């Protein structure tokens, strides 16, 4: 039996890799059907302002995001690189656990230079009731309020 922390870390790693490997179609599968997902600046988060960069209230909304990224949004091609660390379980509940992590995301455009894209913390909840652990909640709080360019891919 694997330790809960290891299983949580595995989920975080799979999340990062779905995006970095450009296998976005796998990304919504890491979330429960009724998940809540958001990317929000630290200034809004700290002041209890609801406005988010991405705000999704279901796995379906995450799938919509992937369809748009693949088919409708116009953007310069880029590689994403997620460095995730400090995964920690904060609280263990009956069917879920609360966890958090630290991250830095870099993007590399066609000029070849990697640039800091988003940096910050995530505050999450993992559904542990089924064999496959999934995020039921993921809140990405980024510090660098002045985002370079646009946020195309999930964080």
Toward another protein, which CB reaches closer, 86 or 148? Answer: 148
Q: Which of 44, 81, 108, 139 binds another protein (CB under 8 A)?
A: 44
Q: Which of 20, 54, 84, 119 binds another protein (CB under 8 A)?
A: 54
Give the footprint of another protein on residues 120-149 (CB under 8 A): 145-149
- Find the angle CA(139)-CA(143)-CA(148) to the nearest 5 degrees: 105
- Assess 114 for contact with another protein (CB under 8 A): no
Considering only the C-alpha atoms of the chain, give the largest distance between any 2 of them, rounded to a whole number of Å: 49
Given a contact cutoff of 8 angstroms between Cβ atoms, the answer to whether 138 and 61 are in contact is no
| Structure-token pair, residue 91 | 């609280």
Q: Which of 5, 13, 76, 83 binds another protein (CB under 8 A)?
A: 76
Binding segment toward another protein, per CB under 8 A, in 16-24, 41-49, 84-92, 93-101: 41-49
Distance of alpha carbon 90 from alpha carbon 135, whole angstroms: 15
């Amino acid at each position: 039996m694997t330790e809960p922390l290891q299983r949580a870390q595995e989920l975080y790693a799979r999340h990062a890799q779905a995006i970095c490997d450009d296998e976005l179609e796998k990304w919504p599968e890491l979330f429960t059907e009724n998940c809540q997902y958001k990317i929000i600046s630290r200034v809004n988060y700290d002041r209890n302002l609801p406005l988010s960069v991405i705000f999704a209230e279901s796995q379906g909304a995450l799938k919509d995001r992937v369809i748009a990224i693949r088919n409708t949004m116009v953007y310069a091609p880029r590689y994403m690189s997620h460095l995730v660390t400090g995964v920690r379980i904060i609280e263990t509940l009956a069917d879920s656990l609360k966890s958090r992590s630290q991250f830095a995301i870099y993007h590399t455009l066609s000029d070849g230079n990697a640039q800091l894209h988003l940096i910050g913390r995530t505050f999450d909840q993992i559904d542990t009731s089924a064999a496959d652990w999934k995020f039921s909640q993921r809140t990405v709080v980024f510090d660098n309020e002045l985002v370079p360019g646009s946020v195309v891919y999930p964080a």
